[in-house]
Every structure is written in C-alpha cells, then in structure tokens.
Structure 1
Amino acid sequence: MGEIVLEVERISKRFGATRALDNVALQVRSHEVLALMGENGAGKSTLMKVLSGVYQPDAGEIRLLGKPVKLHAPADARAVGINLIYQELAVAPHMTVAQNVFMGSEPRGRFGRVDQAAMRTRTNEVLQQLGARFGADTLAGSLGIADQQQVEIARSLIHKSRVLIMDEPTAALSDRETERLFAVIRRLRDDGIAIVYISHRMAEMTELADRVAVMRDGGYVGTLIKAEAAPERVIQMMVGRPLDDFYQRREHVEKGPVRLEVRNIISPKINDASFHVCAGEVLGLAGLVGAGRTELARIIFGADPKASGDIVVDGKPVNIRQPLDAMKLGIGYLPEDRKGQGLFLQLSALANTTMSVLNRHSRAGLLNHKALRKLTEDAIKQLSVKVPGPDGIVGGLSGGNQQKLLLARWLAIKPRVLILDEPTRGVDVGAKSEIYRIINQLAASGVAVVVISSELPEVIGICDRVVVMREGHITGEVSGEAINQETIMTCATLATTQPALALAA
C-alpha cells in the first residue's frame, strides 16, 4: 500500500434538519484506486464536495499528508492538489483543449499576456502522458464524452493533483470508451496519484478498485481490500441487509389474456417487428445497443410514427398517433433518459407525479389540489421515495428517488400496459430492489409490463419471457429455463436474415 495522502476524521454536515454526513472517517492512499460505494443518498457526493471545497463541514478535520487543511472554496482544494471531476463535465465547447486545461490559471509572459505557446506545450505533454488521441489545439466541442473526460483529467494534472475524485465517470461511455478510461486511471494510479472512484456498477468496482469504502445513510460503514470485496458483501454493507433474493423472480405466473399485440411494425429503424404481452406478465425486450428496442417502444407510445403495421390493445386495433392517445388506452412509458425526456427537474414532486392525471382531478377548469396532494403523498409512501414532501424539488433528489417519482406518474394513470425503458439505469442497488418489487406487484395486479434493459442479469432475473432484437429485427423469444445469458446473446447476435428463434424450457 502507498502512503496515506488524504485523511478525514469525524466529518459531519447538516442541511437544515437533514444530516447528510455523520461522523465520517476515510483514508485515501497513493498508488491506489479507492472505490466509494453506497446507495443514492448515502452521502458520497456530499463528502466529495466537502473534500473539494464546495461545502464546508460543520465538524471534523481534513488532513493532507498528515497536515490539517481548511478548504473554503474549490480553489483551495485545487491549490493543495485535490481535484473533483463531476459526472456532468465542465468543458467549454468553443475553446481549445489547451484553453480548457488552463482555464483560470493561464501562464503569463511579458506585459502580462497569456503565454499561448507555453499552454500548448504543457497541455500536449500531459495529453501524451494520458495517451490521448488529440492535441492542445483541438476544439473541445469536437470531442466525444470520453475525450472530454481526458481534458478534465489533464486539467487536474496541470494543477499537480495528488488526489483525483471521479464521480460516475462511465455513466455516458460505451464499453470501449470505458476500457480506455480504465487504462488512463491505472496509469495515473501507477504514477502515484490517489484516486477516489464513485460508481454504482459492481463490475467496475471488481475490475478497478484496490480497496472499497462503503457509506450508508450519511455514515461510514467500513473499507474492504480487493480480496474481501465480493459484490454480495459490498451490497449487504450498502443496504444493511442481505440480498440473497435480489431480483425476486416470481415462480408462479398467472397470465391473463393478451393485453398488447404489435403486428409487423415497420419504420426507418424497425423491420417487421411483431410480439405480444399478456396481462400479468413481465416481458423483457433485450438486445445490444442500437437493436431498436427504444425505437419500437416509442412507436407503441405514439412518440414516433410508424410506416406500417398494427397495434392491438385488448384484441382491438388502435390508432396511436401521439402519447395522449396511448395514455387514454392505459399505456404508460417510462423513458430511458429520465432527466431529458421524463422529469421536470425545477418542479416539485407533486407537479411531476400528477401532471398526467390533472384532467381527472379538476372540475370546471379548477384543480382539486387536496386530491392531488394526497395522491402524491400516497405515492411517496408506497414507493418509499426519500423526499421532504410533495413540494420537494425533484432536481435535488438522488437518481433512484427521481426514478421512483417518474414511475409514480405512470402508476397514477392506473396503466393496463406499462413500458419501462432501462428502469434501473443510474440507480443504486437498494432502489433497484424496490423497483423490482414494484414491477412484480404491478404484474400480480394484472398490468402487462414490458421491461427494456441492457443488463442481462436484470432481464434474466425479473422477466417471465424475453423477446430479443437485433438491428430492428426480432430475432428470438425465450422463456422458462431458456432465459439465460447464452440463449439471449445467441439471439442478439444472429444474422437478421434468419427467422426468429423460439426457445423454451
């Protein structure tokens, strides 16, 4: 192990009546990647903002190389070598890479002029160290997300970073981009930088971390070395209970009649797709990225047009031209991008939860605010949403709580068909378990549930039947014991000229 670079003791932080951090202790060493794990709301982001000078703690001490430091602002943290790279990157697109790297700390030459040549030279040196495939004069806006992350990392190295904190750095990256980022992180670790890596993804923890620190409910639970950090043990520390039956797959499925049928749908990205889902069934829609799953779901919901084909609800052909038509038929759709396409982040939990049913709670143009507030309060209680109340602003909530409120919006319409597109993306394991429970309850009540997911363990764990897509085609259907990784991947990689496979136990 390397030397202790950063150490916190008894750090506490309150926001009003909410205790965000409670007596937290943590050590970060050189030459290591320390994974920081915990559910949404566990206090990880608050602690990182304390360490980067964004927040000041109410109590406790921060030490760097054994010496106490006071971080009154982010500039103080950068000055002592602590840098935080947020999930939402702060890159100025209309500036060059060098200008982004030196933003706010430009070297000066004669007469106080910015030394552009020195900026380019030093930036190119750091980019070469990172193995970047672009140069200092590249316009930052022309780079992909993975390369923009390298710009942020280069900025931290310019500031002689001793501690680099990365918050969910792979959230928007492809598998190949993630591999490149991991190579950069390992190179920085080997150079002696202490890296704190925040992620919800167990596979990343297993692959990358030298040690794993766990937080829960604003407190520090413990730290495990790599050999001890089995995913099951980490999850139990995160949620405070064992998750032996994490997915809670139903053993006895009582399917009703066919609730939704899709017949020969054709669009620019969908080629003759047909499937059905029954009342009381959880149907998985699986496939690799770009397979057409989201595009098909959006057609069913009326968000995108189809060229031809039929949609049948409860045995009757229907004409869905817009989402309002789908909602009137009892079809709900939880989109993949909850922030961009689902939630109104500046509005309250009440507004987000009830906006699809305002017409049901109004008379003569006047809203029944009492009924709307009760509906929201009931949803908060039913879904265990951690929010101050119906008037709490959604943008300040964790990803899991945002997702549950978006789900509450569709539960409010009392759906007959509910399409969930990546319902657990970006949420912690505790929230995942609760969402799986809700899905099972919906199916048990007779709702036809369609789950689109890129996580095969999730598809395998919660779905009664799985339809697989590839390049706009449906290439297979699996059920029973045939719902496993091998059969699903076989269908997902089939040539599209072959007929769809039907695999069952």
Structure 2
Amino acid sequence: MTAILEMRGISKSFPGVKALRNVNLRVEAGEIHAICGENGAGKSTLMKILSGVYPHGAYEGDIFYDGEKRQFADISDSERLGIIIIHQELALVPLLSIAENIFLGHEPATMGVIDWDEAFRRTRELLAKVGLNEAPDTLITHLGVGKQQLVEIAKALAKKVRLLILDEPTASLNDSDSEALLELLKEFRSQGIASILISHKLNELAEVADSITVMRDGTTVETIDARTEEISEARIIKSMVGRELSERYPHREPRIGDTLFEIRDWRVEHPLHAGREVIKGVSLRVRQGEVVGIAGLMGAGRTELAMSVFGRAYGRNVTGQAFMQGREIDLSSIQKAVAGGVAYLTEDRKGLGLVLGEDIKSNITLANLAGVAWHGVIDDDRETDVAEQYRSKLNIRSSGILQKALNLSGGNQQKVVLSKWLFADPKVLILDEPTRGIDIGAKYEIYTIINDLAASGKAVIVISSEMPELLGICDRLYVMNEGRLIDEMPVREASQEKIMAAIMRQHGTAP
C-alpha cells in the first residue's frame, strides 16, 4: 500500500528530558493507525512535531508526506496539506456558534464581508457528514462534550482533511458517543481519509485500528498489523509497560467505619439560567475507609454535584446541608470546604487543577501553603522537602521538582494534582475522572493511591465514565441521572447491565 506519511529518525529533547529517540512511523493512505503507550512515552510530542506545533529545526529527523520531504514552520503549514490535529482539550470557543467555530479564521466572505448564509449552508452539510443534528447558530456552550467532539471533526472536514490526528478523542465520552465516533472513523476510512488515533482504551484500538504502533520511553517498540496478526489487550499492555500486568485493579480488604461525610437534599441551579435546577435534592453519605462511586451517563450532573459541594464552585442558589462526622459544616466557599476537610480533584486538570506555568514544587504545596510557611513566610527548604517527598511517593516522572507542570505528561500531571490534595490532608476526597486520558500503568498506580487513602480512614468519592473502573475499585455505587440519585447498590451486587437498567427505568424505556 501507499504511505501517506513517513516519519524517520525523529528525536526531540526538552531541558533535562529526551522525549523522543529515533522514532519511526509509517501511515498508509486511508488506514486507521493507532498509537498507544504509557504517559510520557512521547505520543503527543510526536504528533506536535507532525502538525507543526514544534516546527522544523526544533527536532531531528525527517517527515515525508505524499512522498515529499516536508518542513513545517507552524500548524498552518500542515493544515494546508490536509493534516489536522484534534487535541484532547478541545479548541472551541464556548460563546461562539457552531458555524463561527467551524470557519473561524477562514470565514466565507465577499469583498471582506462574511456571507453568513453560505457559512450556515456549509455548516449544515458538514454537520450532516458527522451525524450531528444541531442548528448552525447553536452556541458551543450548549453542547455536551460528545457533540463538541463532532464539531471539531466537522471543523477538520471544512479544512479538507486527508490525515486526521485524534488525541484521546473518547476520553471524555460515554460508551454510546465513543461508539458513534469510532463508526465515523470507519466511514472516513472508506472515503480514503487516513486517521491517527491516540488512545488508552485498548478495546477501542483492537476494534477499529488497521495498524497499532506501541511507544515506550520515547521510542517505537513495535508496529502490529491488525489485519494479519492476532491482537490482544495483554500483548499491547506487555509492549507498553515492558511486562505483563496480571490484574487491572489492585486488591483491597475494605475496613469501613462510621459515616464520615454526608449531604442532604442538595439542590443547585444552573449558573446562567435562574430557576433551572441542575442538581435536584441529592442526598448521599460516605463512610470512613470507604470508596464510593457515582455512575451515570454524560450530562447526568455528577461533575456539577461535585463542584457545587466543593465550595459552590459551580451553580447558583445552592441549598442543602453538609455534615462531617455528624456535625454540620459550611461549604459556602472553596476555602471553607478545604478547611472543613473536603478536597476535589477536577476532571479538567490543565484548566482548573494546575498552574501550568509554575513548577511541580509550587503546584504541590498550593492548597496548603501554611504547611510550608513559618510566620507567614514560605520556607523554601520545607517546600522542597515536601515536593521531593510526594514526587518520590507518587512516582512522578520528571527531570526534577522545578520542571514546569506544562511539560509533564498527562499521567504525571494528574499525580501532581493528587499530591496537592494529599498534602492538604483532607478527610474526604472527591475524585472526578481521576484516570481520564492516562495509561494503564499510571491508572494502576492511582488505584493503589486510592486504596491507601481508604486504608488510612479517609472517605473517597470517585466519579468515572468507565463503569468497569467503578466496579473494580469501589465498595458501593450511586447511580445518577438528570440531576438525581436514582439507585444505590453495593459493588458485589452491581453490574454494568444493572446500572444501565436503572437509568433506562427512569427514562421509562426499560422492559
């Protein structure tokens, strides 16, 4: 077959870190080529080189596209040839419409005046191609994450994409939205569009990929032809981590005590639409040493609930009561929530969890500056000791504690956020999608940390879109839908089918 892309001998260094070492990648025309590897393996760095984010001269090696050697100065150079990258953090403007986002920077115009009729016509055509039934003037902020992902793909089609790069495209999607996206990639394949798919969801790779390239520690380990070779998750995992991983979830013997944290009749209105209730009378409890999961489909209100509990970080007119060890506590601000023993690990680690321009040391101590201060002055030696301690304890892979958070892989960024809250020493940790977009080895490490927290007597609430994850690490589950808790079950009695049946019953569609 004809190669649309060849990357030969690609190497890239950052201060103190060799990110890529002599990496080779070949993508055939019209194929779905998957790239997988642990966080820090170099996947995103390689794609940033390909798309021109890291320009020619900032790396070693050669890129051949359509048989010609290419030297991209910036991302516009690669886009002109039909190489379009969709990052894990979507690059849409929330308060602009779908049409405005799709044609931002290349609006159809006559004599310098935007032709909105033409923009809306072409937007409708593009949305039809990706299966999205929305009006062109719909604001992005009114769309769920799954639909936003489809808008990004429509935006790529508007630029006449020939090689589509998707970095963790299903990390934020539920099962049905993920399946729809994968079917769309298959449709693109039939049209001759090549795709590079970066994902930690190995079952998805096995389902759609024609070829799978495994990376480890900045090198290519192997490329598997899925059309001629047998693919198994065990084989991919062994190539990724350099060893067999016999269990996905570490074993834990629960030692569950009395109720530690409780909320009663919690109600929250939408921050922009007064009177529209998003959280509708939620009551839940979590005990010492217990890991409680909240399952639900995208848009069920899980994140909104968590953020509103954490100092009213979401919503307006928040009402209800919160109790810690039987005593009512004030959660009316983030400072009061932290002082009351509640911590929240956000699903948006880059936007809300980290100060990306600051180093690891500063990020780790940010939520508990009093813990590294003497008479109101930061003790640099103490702060260094704390940062080194958590870097070692959580196995944060970096050149040192002075490395910028921006330059860490996703899994290591997540460990820094976890370190920040562990140092704050809360009684209750709410973890919102704690393993989103990170590799299976890093996931196991985070599951182990969750077990250790529970073993120390803390209460842990886990929100996850991956039902097997909740079933693998939790003691008890709540099922949430449309802003309400609709079921509760011990994990030993739970299953994916039972969770979905509870949701369908509320919709009136269960048999």
Provide the TM-score with structure 1 as the length reference: 0.83
Letter in structure 1 aligned against 2:26: Q
| Greater shift in the superposed pair: 206-215 or 388-397 | 388-397
Aligned to 2:195: 195
Aligned to 2:153: 150
| Greater shift in the superposed pair: 308-317 or 454-463 | 308-317
Q: Is the 8 A contact 2:127 2:151 kept in 1?
A: no
Aligned to 2:380: 369
| 1:312-461 mapped onto 2 (5 Å cutoff) | 312-461=323-472
State the Cα distance separating 1:320 from its structure 2 match: 3.0
Determine whether 1:236 maps to 2:245. no
State the Cα distance separating 1:190 from its structure 2 match: 1.6
State the Cα distance separating 1:113 from its structure 2 match: 8.3
Q: Is the 8 A contact 1:211 1:224 kept in 2?
A: yes
Q: Is the 8 A contact 2:262 2:285 kept in 1?
A: yes
CA distance, structure 1, for counterparts of residue 186 and residue 240 of structure 2:
25
State the Cα distance separating 1:290 from its structure 2 match: 3.4
Q: Is the 8 A contact 1:25 1:220 kept in 2?
A: yes
| Greater shift in the superposed pair: 408-417 or 264-273 | 264-273
Deviations 1:101-129 (A, max 9, x none): 5957999x9xx989979x97996898499
State the secondary structure of the residue aligned to 2:381: helix
State the Cα distance separating 1:440 from its structure 2 match: 0.7
Determine whether 1:48 maps to 2:29. no
State the secondary structure of the residue aligned to 1:357: helix
CA distance, structure 2, for counterparts of residue 88 and residue 315 of structure 1:
40
State the Cα distance separating 1:80 from its structure 2 match: 4.9
State the secondary structure of the residue aligned to 1:40: coil
Aligned to 1:502: none
State the secondary structure of the residue aligned to 1:237: helix
Aligned to 1:84: 85
Unaligned runs of 5+ in 2: 269-276
Q: Is the 8 A contact 2:265 2:282 kept in 1?
A: yes
State the Cα distance separating 1:53 from its structure 2 match: 3.3
Deviations 1:124-162 (A, max 9, x none): 898499467699x956966952453234322441xxx54
Aligned residues: 488
Q: Is the 8 A contact 2:343 2:428 kept in 1?
A: yes
Determine whether 1:277 maps to 2:283. no
Determine whether 1:62 maps to 2:71. no
Aligned to 1:223: 223
CA distance, structure 1, for counterparts of residue 120 and residue 370 of structure 2:
62
Aligned to 1:186: 186
Aligned to 1:488: 499
Q: Is the 8 A contact 1:475 1:496 kept in 2?
A: no
Q: CA distance change for structure 1 residues 120 and 312 in 2, over 3 Å: closer, same or farther?
A: closer
Q: Is the 8 A contact 1:264 1:272 kept in 2?
A: yes
Percent of aligned pairs with the same amino acid? 39
CA distance, structure 2, for counterparts of residue 275 and residue 99 of structure 1:
40
CA distance, structure 1, for counterparts of residue 281 and residue 74 of structure 2:
57
Letter in structure 1 aligned against 2:28: R
State the Cα distance separating 1:464 from its structure 2 match: 1.6
Q: Is the 8 A contact 2:36 2:214 kept in 1?
A: yes
State the secondary structure of the residue aligned to 1:426: coil
State the secondary structure of the residue aligned to 1:166: strand
State the secondary structure of the residue aligned to 2:27: strand
Q: CA distance change for structure 1 residues 189 and 323 in 2, over 3 Å: closer, same or farther?
A: same
Q: CA distance change for structure 1 residues 39 and 94 in 2, over 3 Å: closer, same or farther?
A: same
Letter in structure 1 aligned against 2:196: V
State the secondary structure of the residue aligned to 1:284: strand
Q: CA distance change for structure 1 residues 286 and 98 in 2, over 3 Å: closer, same or farther?
A: closer
CA distance, structure 2, for counterparts of residue 376 and residue 460 of structure 1:
33
Q: CA distance change for structure 1 residues 274 and 86 in 2, over 3 Å: closer, same or farther?
A: closer
Letter in structure 1 aligned against 2:289: G
Aligned to 2:271: none
Q: Is the 8 A contact 2:294 2:478 kept in 1?
A: yes
Q: Is the 8 A contact 2:174 2:297 kept in 1?
A: no
Aligned to 1:297: 306
Aligned to 1:500: none
CA distance, structure 2, for counterparts of residue 471 and residue 206 of structure 1:
33
Aligned to 1:471: 482
Which is greater in Rg? 1
State the Cα distance separating 1:413 from its structure 2 match: 1.8
Aligned to 2:272: none
Q: CA distance change for structure 1 residues 372 and 63 in 2, over 3 Å: closer, same or farther?
A: same
